[in-house]
């Protein structure tokens, strides 16, 4: 079974949300919905920072997007960027490969770039992304570089008007907390996404609805 750190955080957000939609979560986990422009813009800024060179800049261009840097941003970009790694966790006898990709790695510190329209520190601190990244990369400090952005006057242009950095650190019991979330996700997958366990292709929503309709029809005939 393979799962990304991003998907685990999406599951946790749904799990503890009072009005979370199961259908929307499943569509997201199965990559059934196209990315929004805001998501594409965020990916473009990540790519721009991945290839950025040392020096002062006021504009970044990448993948058809233009970012005008209005905020006071001081950002160290070490040579090790966009590093992907994975770690195998065993949940009730099931090997679970958790995959993560950090934006930069320097010593015992991993960095992650984030984009948002409104900065809310608690939203980042409550996630499990940083916990898993520290566990996977065997690091001690996780740092967010958060870019506040707003759409510009021209299509596919954005103003970067704010910049914030947040740090979190490894703590006693962090690995166990990660395992607890993984157990919840595996239980969820066994019920709602068995294809992750079996490796078989996921059934489409239409196939699922047809199966449900057939099951209801068979139950009605038996009752009659």
Q: Please write the tens of the pLDDT for every residue from 153-163.
A: 899 999 999 99
The tally of domains found in the chain comes to 1
Q: Is the pLDDT of residue 40 over 90?
A: yes
In a domain, 199, yes or no: no
Q: With contact defined as beta carbons under 8 Å apart, do 158 and 125 qualify?
A: no
- Quote the percentage of the chain above a pLDDT of 70: 88
Q: Give the pLDDT band of residue 53 (cuts 50, 70, 90).
A: confident
| pLDDT, tens digit, 9 for 90 and up, residues 120-145 | 999 899 999 999 999 999 999 999 99
CB atoms within 10 A of CB 30: 15
Separation of alpha carbons 148 and 48, rounded Å: 16
- Cα gap 39→6, rounded to integer Å: 13
Q: How many CA atoms lie within 13 A of 88 on its CB side?
A: 5
- The answer to whether position 160 is within a domain reads yes
Q: How far apart are CA 162 and CA 153, in angstroms?
A: 18
The model's confidence at residue 212, banded by pLDDT at 50, 70 and 90, is low
21 domain residue, yes or no: no
Please state the three-class secondary structure of the chain as a single string.
CEEEHHHHHHHHHHHCCCCCCHHHHHHHHCCCCCCCHHHHHHHHHHHHHHCCCCCCCCEEEECCEEEEECCCCCCCCCCCEEEEEEEEEEECCEEEEEEEEEEEEECCEEEEEEEECCCCHHHHHCCCHHHHHHHHHCCCEEEEEEEEEEECCCCCEEEEEEEEEEEEECCCCHHHHHHHHHHHHHHHHHHHCHHHHHCCCCCCHHHHHHHHHHHHHHHHHHHC
Highest mean pLDDT, choosing among 14-23, 58-67, 69-78: 58-67
Distance CA 154, CA 211 (A): 48
Residue 51: its pLDDT value, please?
86
Mind listing the pLDDT tens digit for each residue in 175-187?
Answer: 999 999 999 999 9
Give pLDDT, residue 84.
Answer: 92
In a domain, 200, yes or no: no
| 171 within domain boundaries | yes
Q: Quick one: pLDDT band at residue 213, thresholds 50, 70, 90?
A: low
For residue 101, is it within any domain? yes
On the question of pLDDT at 200 being above 50, the answer is no
Does residue 47 sit within a domain?
yes
Within a domain: residue 49? yes
Containing domain of residue 112, as a range? 37-187
Q: Residue 78: which pLDDT band, with cuts at 50, 70 and 90? A: confident
Q: Give per-residue pLDDT as tens, 79-113.
A: 888 889 999 999 989 999 999 999 999 999 999 99
């Amino acid at each position: 079974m393979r799962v990304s750190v991003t998907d685990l955080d999406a599951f946790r957000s749904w799990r503890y949300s009072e009005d979370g939609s199961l259908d929307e979560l499943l569509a997201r986990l199965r990559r059934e919905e196209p990315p929004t422009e805001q998501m594409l813009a965020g990916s473009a800024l990540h790519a721009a920072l991945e290839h950025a060179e040392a020096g002062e800049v006021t504009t970044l261009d990448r993948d058809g997007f233009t970012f005008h840097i209005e905020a006071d941003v001081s950002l160290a970009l070490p040579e090790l960027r966009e590093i992907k790694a994975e770690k195998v966790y065993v949940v009730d006898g099931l090997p679970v490969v958790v995959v993560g990709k950090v934006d930069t790695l320097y010593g015992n510190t991993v960095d992650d770039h984030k984009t948002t329209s409104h900065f809310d520190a608690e939203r980042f601190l409550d996630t499990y992304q940083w916990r898993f990244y520290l566990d996977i990369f065997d690091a001690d400090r996780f740092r967010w570089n958060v870019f506040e952005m707003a759409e510009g006057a021209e299509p596919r242009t954005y103003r970067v008007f704010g910049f914030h950095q947040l740090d979190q650190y490894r703590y006693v019991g962090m690995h166990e907390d990660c395992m607890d979330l993984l157990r919840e996700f595996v239980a969820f997958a066994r019920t709602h996404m068995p294809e992750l366990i079996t490796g078989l292709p996921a059934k489409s929503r239409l196939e699922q609805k047809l199966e449900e309709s057939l099951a209801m029809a068979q139950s009605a005939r038996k009752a009659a």
